[in-house]
Structures are given as C-alpha cells and as structure tokens.
A and B are shown apart, each in its own frame.
Chain A
Amino acid sequence: MLRFLLKLLLCLIVGTALGLAATWLAVTRLNFGTVSNGPWRMSLLTGSAQSGPYLRANIARHGLLALNRSETIYYTADHDSNGEWLDGNCFYKIEGREPRARWWSITAYGDDDYLMKNKYDLWSISGETVQLRSDSTFIITASKHRAPTNWIPVTQRRFSLTLRLYNPAPGVVDDPANALVPVIKRSVCL
C-alpha cells in the first residue's frame, strides 16, 4: 500500500512538473498563428477574441493589451534578413520605404521585452522623426555605437525590434505577409 502511495505521489509530482514545463515552453518559446514577412513576423489573430488557448497565452505573455490588426499591426524581428539572431555587438541597417500606414515606428527591446537603458533616452524612430533620403527611402541604424542619423541604441547582446503600423492601409491589413516592410541587414560586428 505504501509503495502504491509513493508511486502515486511520484506520478503526481512528475506529471505536474512536466505539465508546467510544457506550459512554460508553449508560452515563452512557441509562436502560434504567426506569418512571416522577411525578418519580421506578426500574429494574424492578435487582439481578436477567437484566438485559441495557445495563441491567447502567447499574446498575454508577449503582446499583452495589443490591438487587433485593423487598428494596429505589430511586426517583431529577432533575426536579421539572413536569418541570423540579432546581436547587440553588431551594426544593423534597417532599410526601406515608409510603410503604408497613418503612423509607424520601429522600437528596440531587450531580452526581457522592455526598453533598454541608454543615456540618450532614445528607443525608437518613427515616421515623424525619421530622416528620409532624397529618394524617399530611409536607413535606420540599430547598434551599440552611435550613428549620425536615424539611430536606435542597443545596449544588450540579445535584442529584438518591433515595427508598429497604426491605422495600416487596407492592403496591409488584408495581406500583412506581403506588405512593404524594411529589410534588416547586418553590417559589421565588434
């Protein structure tokens, strides 16, 4: 009898630990209902009530209080356009044309999903602050070391970027996987 109870206890402990580990992995590591557009990925169902339990848990962890995509589209990148992890020791050139939206911004976040401390209090470049070139394209630099224009400081080794499109154009809402988004090119690493 005692042996049975010990086995039952072990079964409950190990089962609970496995179940919690599976939930932690599902919430923190997996991406459900997402589409890719170059280095960027976005959730088609963010902000919608129909989302399944896996996506709902993921959004609660990574995109809490996010709006649905007709209001705002959130693209996130933790890799560059060559598929390499973004690395705070490298310079990145984020190149493209202004996305089709009423307002847009690109913001850098640390590994904990919060803004990274920097002495310039600078965390994003938006459609209001970006300096465009004569052909209406832009190059934004994300790096530890200062760039002369369009600079987003990066002060952690592992970081990610979010491209926000507020009131995106209807074509972007309908097909965010093929919308015009900037590329992320790694240049030099120190």
Chain B
Amino acid sequence: MRRWAFWIVATLAVAAVVHYFTLLRTPEFIMNKVMMRMGEVNHIHHQGRVTDKSRGVVRPSPDLLYSVCPFDLAQGALHVTGKVPAGTYWSVSIFDSDTNNFYVKNDRQVKGSVDLLVTTPANDVRRPKGAVEVISPTVKGLVLFRTLIDDEKNFAAIDAVRRTANCELIRSRAS
C-alpha cells in the first residue's frame, strides 16, 4: 500500500513539474511560432487587409492595418522609423519574447514621425540622431504598427503612410 502511495505521489510530482515548466514556456513557444510566420527578422512586413484567411495572430481586427517587424538583437540594435498618419488612430507597440508589451505610443503621443532605437544593454551601437532609445528585456521580440482605417474612402492615403514604417538592424561595434 505504501509503495503505491509512493508511486502516486511521484507521478503527481512529475505532473506538477511538467505543468509548471510547460506553462512558463508557453508564451515563448507561441511567440516563436508567430515570429516564424511573420518572415525575415529585422525587416518590416506590411500585411494585407485582415480577412477570414488571415492566420498570423488570433483575433485580428479587420478595421486595422498591421505592419510587423520581428527582431533579433543578438547582432545589434533595431532602428524603427515611420510617418504617423494624421487624423486616425495609429500606434507602435513592442513585445518581448514572452509576449509582454513593454513599449507603446500612439498618434496622440507621437507627432509627425516615429524614430526609435530598440536595443539591449549588451549592444554597443551609435544612436542615430533624434532616435529614442528603447531597451528590450529580451533579445528577440516584435514591433507592431497598428493603423485604423477610419473611413474606406481614406484607405489609399492611410495605406501609403503606414507603408513608410521601416526597421533595420544597426550592427553592434562589439560583434
């Protein structure tokens, strides 16, 4: 009887350990899958209009235009630039590899254009003049631009502005 109790307790202990570690790794696992689907890292990807065929991220909004830049800061910092459209909702948000949203600004907070340098303390990169430095908690992550199509009549103009968003790697002097 005591032997059975030992094996039951041991099985539950294994279950608890497996549960805890798989739960901890779930966000990173899902984020990695999403980043792989987005395409080449440290490049901007302007996604088409969201439809029922869009399968990149769950529960996408059909009223928004998304541009994404998956990043890997192992070799350097990411220079993020782009024009901010006037008169409609726009935001740039940055997520770490555990899906935490560690930076967000919208069109009410940023006027004209956005200029960011996303980096880690390990990188030694000369900050471009005017760029705001943003420290990423993890080496990998994702920059996401959202632009609202407030009126279908404005679609072409809004799409043209959001396509000015760009990201490029500035290699670290140490690497």
Contacts and interface: CB of A to CB of B under 8 A. Distances in A.
B23 A26 contact: yes
B24 A11 contact: no
A48 B104 CA distance: 11
B89 A107 contact: no
Nearest to B29: A60
Contacts of B19: 18-20, 22-23, 26
A90 interface: no
A93 to B, nearest CB: 22
Contacts of B148: 103, 166
B47 to A, nearest CB: 12
Contacts of A37: none
A173 to B, nearest CB: 14
B58 A114 contact: yes
A19 B22 contact: yes
B89 A115 contact: no
B59 interface: yes
Interface string B46-71: 00001110110111111100000000
B164 interface: no
Contacts of B95: 65
A171 B6 CA distance: 55
Interface in A33-65: 47-49, 51, 53-54, 56-57, 59-65
A115 B51 contact: yes
B62 A123 contact: yes
A71 B106 contact: yes
Interface residues of B, number: 50
Contacts of A60: 26-27, 30-31, 99
A9 B51 CA distance: 47
Interface stretch (B8-16, B121-129, B166-174): B8-16
Q: Is the interface of A mostly helix, strand, loop or mixed?
A: mixed
Given A48-B101, A114-B55, A67 B93 contact: yes
A83 to B, nearest CB: 22
Interface in A100-149: 102-103, 105, 107, 109, 113-118, 121, 123-124, 126, 128
Contacts of B155: none
Contact of A56 (B54, B55, B99): B99
B113 interface: no
Contacts of B18: 15-16, 18-20, 23
Interface of A: 7, 11-12, 14-16, 18-20, 22-23, 26-27, 47-49, 51, 53-54, 56-57, 59-68, 71, 102-103, 105, 107, 109, 113-118, 121, 123-124, 126, 128, 162, 164, 166-167
